[in-house]
Amino acid sequence: MRRGAARQHPRRLPLRGVRPWHQPHRRSRLPAPRRRRRPPGPERADRPVHRPAGLRPRRNLGPRPPERPVIVRPEPDRDSRPWWDAVRRHELTVQRCDACGRLRFPARAVCNACRSREASWTPVSGRGRVYSWIVNHQRFAPSMTEPLTILAVRLDEGDDLLMYGNLTEPAELCEGLPVEAVFTDHDGETLVNWRPLPG
Ligand SMILES: [Zn+2]
């Protein structure tokens, strides 16, 4: 198809500066997509802009903040606040339903066995078995160790009592590995982590 050429005035060359007999009659490939110009205006924020590095605008981001241990800060809510208060005292607890006696964790308002809303917090042994884990190789802060292993632990008091925390020392991990809770104080907060039980 050479519609553009056919519509030209017959006494003019079809394309200025380009000899028509050098153009192939048939394309061996699909035509390249037409290049479109963006209308002038502010650059769109959602697309990367490639400029030479020296021409990037410099912004003053202020002094670099001091390096400090970065932890995931607990955010207690209505149901979990008593658990965090106990952790601060280095006590590990779970909820016990006042009506049927069933243990539950994480904290929730209603017993999923009998629907009772009455519950108390009761201490547990702090021992459990590894249910699953992930190994993180990204150092998100200079103070973090790498690799960082995060465990999901089934407490000995019940298969559906799952707690999470970091592995505090290297171990040959496998499902069912016995572990015990360790209370780690950081910067005014206390976290529950886990270490392998000997033997
Ligand atoms: Zn109950």
* Letter string b/e over residues 148-184, b meaning 16 or more CB atoms within 10 A of that residue's CB: ebebebbbebeeebebebbbeeebeeeeebebbbbbe
Compute the distance from residue 115 Cα to the ligand 1 centre, in Å: 6
pLDDT at 116 over 80: yes
Each residue's pLDDT tens digit, 20-72:
555 555 555 666 666 666 565 555 566 666 665 665 666 677 776 666 555 66
Q: How confident is the model at residue 4 (pLDDT cuts 50, 70, 90)?
A: very low
Which domains are seen in the chain, by residue range? 74-123 (no CATH), 125-199 (2.40.50)
User: Considering the chain, what is the average pLDDT of its residues?
Assistant: 81
Residue 98 has what pLDDT?
98
**What is the distance in A from the centroid of ligand 1 to the CA of 113?**
5
Amino acid 84: pLDDT: 96
CA 97 to ligand 1 center in whole angstroms:
5
- Of 35-39, 92-96, 151-155, the poorest mean pLDDT is in 35-39
State the pLDDT at residue 38.
59
Q: How far is the CA of 130 from the centre of ligand 1 (A)?
A: 27
Ligand 1 centroid to Cα of residue 11, in Å, is 96
Task: Between 98 and 24, name the one with better pLDDT.
Answer: 98
pLDDT in tens, 176-185: 999 999 999 9
Is residue 156 pLDDT above 60, yes or no? yes
- 192, exposed or middle or buried, with CB in 10 Å at 0-12, 13-18, 19+? buried
The CA 126 to ligand 1 mean position distance, Å, reads: 22
pLDDT computed for residue 96 by the predictor: 98
Neighbour tally for 133: CB within 10 Å: 19
Give residue 105 CA to ligand 1 midpoint distance, Å. Answer: 13
| CA angle 155–159–164, rounded 5-degree value | 45
Report the pLDDT value the prediction gives residue 186, as an integer from 0 to 100.
82
